[in-house]
Amino acid sequence: MVDVVMIRTYEQSKIERFAEYSRVPVINGLTNEYHPCQILADIFTYIEQRGSIEGRTVAWIGDSNNVCRTWLQAAEVLGFQVHVSTPPGYEIDGGRATGVGAARYRQFADPREACRDADLVTTDVWTSMGYESENEARRKAFAGWRVDAELMRAARPDALFMHCLPAHRGEEVTAEVIDGPSSVVWEEAENRLHAQKALLEVLLLGTID
Ligand code: NVA
């Protein structure tokens, strides 16, 4: 009875199973493993602000979560680099980065090194949906992975800051950064709407203006 289905759920396997039996397009609205709609909006925002993302460097600081993994997939498709820095024990799970060439991403123990000369610095909450029971342990483990002015200074002078929101000021990002001149989080949030309209247009009409 519907033309498109969008599902926000937990395990990626659930959405893949649903899609196997669906006669209409199924959009991943977020799973534990991936968040493609967010990355469509983020890349659209980057292009709007700075032009092509090809050949650029994106620094991902914090949890190697659904958003981070999808940045890696996009890097493979669009030809840019991702520098990932996570606390020990929270590194990218090799299996989940399958299909992403090693040339497209590098892991850094030190978040400052990951941000060096980056064109975009981005992060996310330390505890994603479904992992709330790990909250206390994560707050301790991630304390050195807060995006602050010092990390932004390691990036290029015109580097942007993005966050998929909602953010916790003072946890994964300082107020100075998220409310500062490099931050494009509100443009990014608005672009979720426009990117998703474009996605529906492509899925329903097979074309985009
Ligand atoms: N990584 C976050 C993204 C929220 C938009 C989560 O999965 O909760």
Domain boundaries, the chain: 52-184
Pocket test for ligand 1, best of 90, 125, 171 (most atoms within 8 A of CB): 125
Q: Which tens digits make up the pLDDT trace of 48-90?
A: 999 999 999 999 999 999 999 999 999 999 999 999 999 999 9
Q: What percent of the chain has pLDDT over 70?
A: 96
Average pLDDT over the chain reads 95
Assess whether the C-beta atom of 164 lies below 6 angstroms from ligand 1.
yes
pLDDT band of 102, cuts 50, 70, 90: confident
Position 93 scores a pLDDT of: 75
Tokens 């247009």 belong to 201
CA–CA separation, 81 and 79 (whole Å): 7
Could you list the beta-strand ranges (E) of the chain: 5-8, 26-30, 57-61, 81-85, 105-108, 120-123, 160-163
CA–CA separation, 21 and 19 (whole Å): 5
Q: Which tens digits make up the pLDDT trace of 182-193?
A: 999 999 999 999
> Is 153 in the active site?
no
> Is 38 in the active site?
yes
Domain 52-184: which CATH number of 3.40.50.1370, 1.10.287.130, 3.40.50.12280, 3.40.50.20:
3.40.50.1370
Ligand 1 atom with the shortest distance to the CA of 128: 8
3-class DSSP state for residue 161?
strand
Ligand 1 atom with the shortest distance to the CA of 67: 1
Helices 36-50 and 66-78, axial angle in degrees (round to 10)? 60
CA–CA separation, 44 and 187 (whole Å): 10
